[in-house]
Structure 1
Amino acid sequence: MVSTPPDISRITGNAPDHVKSFLADPTTLEDVSGLSRTVRGFGYDIIARMEVTEVSVSKKMDEPLKEEGRVVVKMKIEQDMVHGGLHMHGGCSAFIIDTCTTLAMAALTLGTVGKKLSNVSLALNILYHAPAALGEELRIVSTTLTVGGRAFSARTEMWSDTHNRLVASGVHVKLSPSTGRTPKL
């Protein structure tokens, strides 16, 4: 079966087309098992509704010798994202921030070293600024902070485009997985 390349015509930003194509469907980023056609993991339906609208890789303003990745995602708050009060659940906000920071990290590594590097979460720190209700339109802006040999970090701001206010912000730190050496006890 031949797959059709994703439509990247609506994705702005200066990232190369191969980076935009990879990030155009965020569900592929989460398919580490290679079983996405048969196994839909946690949050798959939420990720599938994310619309990537911008992917950029550019020089950092404060550190011109370094580059940063930036990804902007839009989505609408739907029923599977809210708690009983019909506002977005904090756990859902955390999940979206986790996913979108990973998109920014992938944009940078794909755009600079040509591949997505595997990494796992070390810390995810979130501030909740304002509630966002069922039906609101969100704009999630994620930017890398640091990318080193083993550690990666990125920040995200989640905005309500409906009410022009910051809903949540977060900083995510990830590490490359360990090599699987046998511990010396």
Structure 2
Amino acid sequence: MASLDKGKAKAMRAVQAMFDRYHLLSAQRPPHHKDFDHQVMANLKLIDVTPEGTATFEMVMSEGYSNLNEVMHGGAAALIFDMATTSALCPLARPGYWEFMGGVTRTLNISYIKPVPIGTTVRIVSKAVAVGKQMAMIRGKMVSVDGKTTYCTVEHHKVNTPVRSEHRKARLPWDDEFEKEHGVKRERGESKL
């Protein structure tokens, strides 16, 4: 049981590190520059993670995600799923594979089932289904907190890409743990933030 708890705690640190690094890098942008995913990354609340590549979040569907019908915009669902499903790869990352932000999206296929009223708290559940060195597939669903209503589902295919060198410079305590586990040596010029 203790090793399960350690594995779960490590998986939580891996996902949290993605969010922490995102916020460090975002804070370095000019004050007027807010990336498209900024609001989602600020509003997703991490609930649960497993070492096998699952991640569960909750978030309130605020007005910033609405359309004129006072429900979640379909494009907002795509952005939310993009970030939430990518995070399921964090516990599975290895040096050169699925590190920070987990590559780039190849396809993101969403099935909209029921509208999400503005003000509703939703749960987003993501599971890495197939993960190779260059391609990954993650499935997800957006449901009510009680799990009784499914609002939409997603199948997200990703392609692995190298981490940008400037992103590697935004160091976190997680990097030391990750590098030690995988025998990675820190390159010159990289400093811990």
Alignment TM-score, normalising by the size of structure 2: 0.69
Q: Which residues in structure 2 correspond to 1:1-150 (within 5 Å)?
A: 15-24=7-16, 27-28=19-20, 30=22, 35-39=25-29, 40-57=34-51, 68-109=52-93, 116=99, 118-150=102-134
CA distance in 1, matches of 2:72, 2:137: 25
CA distance in 2, matches of 1:116, 1:172: 17
* Per-residue deviation, residues 88-131 of structure 1 (Å, max 9, x unmatched): 00000011111111000112226x99972641111111100100
**Count of paired positions:** 154
User: Which of the two has greater helix per residue?
Assistant: 2
CA distance in 2, matches of 1:96, 1:104: 13
Counterpart of 1:45 in structure 2: which amino acid?
Q
Counterpart of 2:65 in structure 1: which amino acid?
M
User: Which of the two has greater strand per residue?
Assistant: 1
Question: Contact (CA 8 Å) 2:15, 2:88: kept in 1 or not?
Answer: no
Give the match's secondary structure for 1:36. helix
Counterpart of 1:175 in structure 2: which amino acid?
V
Question: Contact (CA 8 Å) 1:69, 1:107: kept in 2 or not?
Answer: yes
CA distance in 2, matches of 1:14, 1:86: 42
CA distance in 2, matches of 1:115, 1:121: 12
Question: Unaligned regions of 5+ residues in structure 2, if any?
Answer: 163-193
Superposed structure 1 runs of 4+ greater than 4 Å apart = 112-115
Seen in structure 2, the aligned counterparts of structure 1 residues 14 and 152 have a Cα distance that, compared at 3 Å, is farther
Q: State the Cα RMSD in Å.
A: 2.8
CA distance in 2, matches of 1:28, 1:21: 10
